[in-house]
Structure 1
Amino acid sequence: MAMVASRAGVSGQTVSRVVNGSPRVDPDTRARVEHAMAELGYRPHRAARALRTGRSQTIGLVVTTLATVGNSRMLQATAEAAAERGYAVTLVTAAQGVAEAFDRLAEQEVDGAIVLNEASALVSDAQRPAGLRLVVVDAPREDGFASVHSDHAGGAAVATARLLDLGYATVHHLAGPADSFAAVERERGWRETLTAANVRPPSVVRGDWTAESGYAAGADLLSAPAVFCANDQMALGLLRALSESGRRVPEDVGVIGFDDVPEAANYRPPLTTIRQDFAALAHRAVSALVDAIEGAPGADEASVVPTVLVERASAASH
């Protein structure tokens, strides 16, 4: 570091700030230090830094599965957001429970952990190692950890209201699993919007996030004038079921999904959906965790990421 400081014409403290990603360095100075580091082949030594700071610069990511679109996209976005803050990511699955996943992360001496989606519902009842800082994605706010989630209820309300505005008499709901925070919130937004419009909510049809469950649910939704699907994958299965039954989308049935997966624009017809900003979710989760690790104020709070309606061809004036 002394050699880098000499080459860049700065103090050793400035080099340390650049290495540790501190915002207290002006861009020109940062660029000069990074250029000197590149010229000299300098690389921070993670083990030595951990001995000096008491931090491993590693965060854990706890999931139950990577088969869902949300989890896989969050994994990539979290890894990218962590790298921007100078942290590595260790992935563990909660196949044997969240408490065991926490123990494994503690053994690896991570500085904190982010718990994703389905695993989040298990955090409250799980014993976790003392001092393990947590951020939970898709869970209600509780003492002891920060929470980050998309505006599931707000997005569902926008989708439902849009179908009503287009002239569909009512809106049915193809919901996600009953133990999912996101599914419960999306169902709440749908239900409250219909109730506010003096429309009695129809019975919920429930799937498990997969396209197969959406296709199976089609048998119960063939007479629906419009359907708000809790995710795009179930909407894909529903579109196939409707097509095979001879019902046209959007002429006979309006369909709106949730997530805006990359393939949604190429469904037949292209799917109107609610877009989740997975990059923003990951950045907020990582920022909240790193702030907690580094002792920044306000880290133990809730954060809600807005959603956006993306209009395509699966819902039209009716």
Structure 2
Amino acid sequence: MNKYLEFSKLLFSIYDEKDIELNSLMSEHIYFKVGGPVDILVNPNNVEQVKKTIDLCKKHNVPYFIIGNGSNILVKDGGIRGVVIKLCKLNKIAVNGTEIEAECGALLADVSKQALANSLTGFEFACGIPGSVGGAVFMNAGAYDGEIVFVIKEAVVLDDKNEIKVLTKDELELGYRSSIVMQKGFVVISATFELKVGNHESIKRRVDELTARREEKQPLEYPSAGSTFKRPPGYFAGKLIQDAGLKGFTIGGAGVSEKHSGFVINKGNATAEDVLAVIHYVQSTVKDKFNVELHPEVRIIGEEAK
């Protein structure tokens, strides 16, 4: 029974019917392809709709959760109570000289393509990251020795009072997979990246090289959330997991990738419970063998199945 059905009627004053989904399975909205239903999912077309939705949720004490492309989220089998605000439609990208301004729902791969098209260098590292700009700023996403902190100039956010605020690079407090946005529960609306003029062919070669490396070394043929664990200080998670003899380890439909031990994958028809069981087993085994604690990089949300 969806206890927020009455509340959903208030959202029709903000949204067209096509932009509101009731009891939508989160498995259809995240890369892991697991997760139970959310009571209400909305797809805002602009910042004003985002603000109004958050205001309504706060006024009526309805929990809400923000997602983008769903590439770094694991939703439990019981799903999510309240409202999920999915920001993928806010995806405009504008190039101004050596700066690229991108809305939160713009894919990093598309920003990378715009950088290449305009012979701008610095964003090549993100060409294969499947997330969107909002999530990338939220967690200071990175790959291949690059991170968002190296290229960002500023971000527009909704603060904890639901007011628009511009945060500079320093004010964002970007650390390893962390930011002030994450700490304070802000919502990223857009970000401006400051790049440099480069040689188009050199940029393309680097993008092609990183794309080939990703396709060769990562299990892209299976649903996952990318690197499952954060890098522990002084170690590599994938190497620890492999040395613990866990490559290919499986519970139910989930397992440790045989291609890259740092990835927990959905091998087919996995439940979130399967994925979590693999994550917890890997953590306990690595702790027992090497006395190193692994912390998930993937965000785990939602409720257990009843």
Which protein has the bigger strand share? 2
TM band (smaller chain): under 0.3
TM-score normalized with structure 1 length: 0.24
Q: Which has the larger radius of gyration?
A: 1
TM-score normalized with structure 2 length: 0.25
